[in-house]
A and B are shown apart, each in its own frame.
Chain A
C-alpha cells in the first residue's frame, strides 16, 4: 500500500468521553483507497466507538474528520454519512428481523432509490423500473455471497453465521466507497470465518472496495489486512503492517496484559 496517496478517510485527534470515561483520547487514523485496514485492540479499547464517530452516531468532543480530502462536520446525521458513501456492519446482530434476506439487502440500496410515494403506490413508471433494476443488483450480491437458498427467508430465523453474511451483503448493497465492518467474524466457527474472510478479500480484490474492519482473531487479521492500527484504553498505541505489529513491544504488552487479567 503506497502511503503517498491521499487517504480516503482521515480522522484526526478524536476525543470523546462518556461521563468521566475517556473512550477515545486523541486518536488519529487513516484509511487509504483500495486497502483492507484493521483496527484491533482489547475489549473496551474504543474500536466500536471510533466507527460510531465516523458514522455520525456519536459526535466527538474534539477532532477533525476528512473524507475524500474534504473536511466534514463532526456532527452529522448517520444517513447523511451513508449518503457520502460509508457503509457499516455491526458487532451485534442488527438485521431487520421481520424482513426477508433480499429485502434486508434492498434497504442497503435505499439511498440510490428516488421514486416518489405516488409512483410507488401505483407501482408505475419510475418506481417499477427502479424496483426491478435494484432487485437485479441485490440478486448479484446474493450470488456473490452464495446465499441464494435463503433469499426469501425472514432473517430473524437464520443461523448466526448466515445473519452476519447477510449483513455484509446489506453493507455492500449501497456500493459504498468505504465499508466499515465491526467484528464480522465474531462468534463464528473456523469454516464460517474462512468464508467471511474470503468474501471480504473478494470484495476488496475483485470489486475494489476499501474496507476497514475490527477483528479479534489475529490469524485472520494478519492474513487479510494490509495495515493495522492498535487501540488500547482509548489511545492508539501502534500502527503498521502485520509484520510490524507482530513484533511491536507495546502491542504484545497490551495483549499480554489482557491475557493476565483474564
Chain B
C-alpha cells in the first residue's frame, strides 16, 4: 500500500458514485427536465403533445424495459410488445372494471406484466441466445392468443377494450397537456429508478451474466435469481408503458397495437439507440417516433413526392428503419448513445468549447 488518504475517501466515493457524477450530465439532465416540464407543454401544439411526445415517452419506457433484459442482462427477447399488452389490458380491467384509482391501476398493470414476464423468463434458465429468442416469440403468440380469446379479459370483441375517461380524485385528465403531464410524471421517476438499478449491484450482475455467464455464477451471481429479476423488471416497464400508451394515446386497448412487428420495432429501437444504455432507449424511441414524420414532412416534400400513397410511405419507413438497424449493427453496435459519447469526449478535448 503506497498511501491511504483516510477521511478523504468516503467523501470522494460518495461523490463519485452519485447518479450523475459529471457536472455536464447533471446540467444536461436539468435542462431536459426543464424543457420537458416547463417548456414543451407550453410551446408544443396539441398534435405534437398527443401524437409525438406521449408515444415518444411511452416507447422510451418500453425500450428501457427491453434494454434491461437484452442490453444489460443479455437475454434477447422478441416478445416485448406482448408484455406491454398484458399491462395495457390489466390496467384497463383494474381501472375500468374494478374502479381502482388511476395510478395504482397503471402500476398494477406493470405488476401483472412483471408476473407474466417472470413466468416466460423461466426458459432462460435452460436456453440461451437464438433458442431463447424463439421462446420469447412463443410468449408473443401465446399472450396475443389468450388476450383475444379469453373473453374475461378482452370482452370478446376482437380484443378491443375502450379506455374510460381518465381522472385522479375527480381531476379529469382530458386535454393533451394533462395527458402529457400524466405520462411524464410516471416516466421520469421510473427512468431515474431504472438508471439507479443499472448502475448498482443489480445492473452489474446483469452485465456479468451478459458478458460471461459461467464465470458470473462461479463468482457468486445466481443466474436463476438475476435472470428472473431481469424478466420481471423488464416486463414491469413494458407493462406500465403499454398501460399508458393505451390510456393516454390510443384510448383503447387493441391487440394489434402490440403485435410482433411492435416487438421488433422496440428491439430495433435499442439497437439503433444503444444497447445497455439508458439514454439509448430515448434516442431509439425518439428516432422511431420521429422517422415517419420526417419522411412525410421533409424527405418526400424535398423530393417533390407529396403524392406518394400512404401504404408506400409505411414501407419506406420500414426500409429506412431496417437499413439503419443493419447500419448500426455493423458500424456502431453500441448505437446512437455511443455516438453521443464520442461527441462529448471530443467536446471535452476541444480547446475552445464555448
**Chain A residues near B (Cβ < 8 Å):** 55-57, 77-79, 81-83, 87-88, 90, 94-99, 103, 106-108, 110-111, 113, 115, 117, 120-123, 127, 130-132, 135-136, 139, 143-144, 170-171, 174
CA distance A123 to B215 in the complex (A): 27
Which 10 A-B pairs rank lowest in CB-CB distance, beginning with the nearest?
Answer: A82-B220, A96-B211, A94-B215, A121-B193, A111-B220, A123-B196, A120-B200, A78-B217, A78-B218, A79-B222
Complex formed: what's the CA distance from A82 to B320 in Å?
48
Number of interface residues of B (CB under 8 A): 37
C-alpha spacing A238/B171, complex, angstroms = 82
Which residues of B lie under 8 Å from residue A87 when comparing CB positions?
219-220
CB neighbours of B265 from chain A (8 A): none
Closest beta carbon of chain B to A172's beta carbon, Å: 11
Report whether B204 and A103 are in contact in the complex, using a CB–CB cutoff of 8 Å. Answer: yes
Q: How far is the CA of A56 from the CA of B220 in the complex (A)?
A: 12
Chain A residues in 8 Å Cβ range of B215: 90, 94-96
CA distance A82 to B223 in the complex (A): 13
- What does the 1/0 interface line of B218-243 toward A look like (CB < 8 Å)? 11111100000100010000000000
Contact A94 B221 (CB under 8 A): no
- A selection of 12 A-B contacts at a CB cut-off of 8 Å is A56-B218, A57-B218, A79-B218, A94-B214, A94-B215, A107-B205, A108-B220, A110-B204, A110-B220, A132-B17, A136-B10, A144-B1
Q: Is B335 an interface residue (CB 8 A)?
A: no
Which A residues are CB-close (under 8 A) to B212?
94-97
Say which residue of A79, A113, A121, A143 sits within 8 Å of B196 (CB atoms): A121
A interface: dominant SS: helix
**Among candidates B10, B211, B214, B217, residue contacting A77 with C-beta atoms closer than 8 Å:** B217
- CB of B276, distance to nearest CB on chain A (Å): 7
| Docked complex: B302-320 residues within 8 A CB-CB of A | none
In the complex, which residues of chain A have a beta carbon less than 8 angstroms from the beta carbon of B149? none
Residues of B within 8 A of A144 (CB): 1
B67 CB, nearest partner CB in chain A, Å: 13
0/1 string, B111-144, CB within 8 A of A gives 1: 0000000000000000000000000000000000
CA distance A127 to B220 in the complex (A): 19
Shortest Cβ gap from A137 to chain B (Å): 11
Q: Type the 1/0 row for B249-277, where 1 means its CB is closer than 8 Å to any CB of A.
A: 00000000000000000000000000010
Contact B204 A174, beta carbon cutoff 8 Å:
no
Contact A77 B222 (CB under 8 A): yes
A108, A111, A117 — most chain B CB neighbours (10 Å): A117
Which residues of chain B from 1 to 16 have a CB within 8 Å of any chain A CB?
1-2, 4, 9-10, 13-14, 16
In the complex, what residue of chain A is closest to B14 when comparing beta carbons?
Answer: A132
B residues sitting closer than 8 Å to A (CB atoms) are 1-2, 4, 9-10, 13-14, 16-17, 19, 193-194, 196-197, 200-202, 204-205, 207-208, 210-212, 214-223, 229, 233, 276
Which residue of chain B lies nearest to A112 when distances are taken between CB atoms in the complex?
A: B220
Tell me if B10 and A132 are in contact (CB < 8 A): yes
The reply to whether A139 and B2 form a contact with Cβ atoms under 8 Å apart is no
Q: Do B200 and A96 touch (CB < 8 A)?
A: no
B200: chain A residues at CB < 8 Å are 120, 123, 127, 131
B208 touches A121 (CB 8 A): no
Contact A131 B220, beta carbon cutoff 8 Å: no
What's the Cα separation between A113 and B219 when bound, in Å? 13
Give B162 Cβ to nearest chain A Cβ, in Å.
33
With A96-B211, A99-B208: A135-B201 Cβ-Cβ less than 8 Å: no
Q: Name the B residues within 8 Å of A143 (CB-CB).
A: 1-2, 4
Nearest residue (CB) in A for B201 is: A113
A110 contact from B13, B214, B219, Cβ within 8 A: B219
The interface residues of chain A lying within 8 Å CB-to-CB of B2 are: 143
**Which of B9, B219, B223, B276 is close to A88, meaning CB atoms less than 8 Å apart?**
B219
B218 and A99 form a contact (CB under 8 A): no
B contact residues around A77 at 8 Å (CB) = 217, 222
Which chain A residues lie closer than 8 Å to B204 at the CB level? 99, 103, 106-107, 110
Q: Which residues of A contact B210 (CB under 8 A)?
A: 96, 98
Contact assessment for A96 and B13 in the assembled complex, using a CB-CB cutoff below 8 Å: no
Q: How far is the CB of B213 from chain A (nearest CB, A)?
A: 10
Beyond the given A110-B204, A132-B17, could you list 7 further A-B residue pairs with CB under 8 A, ordered by the A residue number? A79-B223, A82-B219, A98-B207, A110-B220, A117-B233, A123-B19, A131-B201
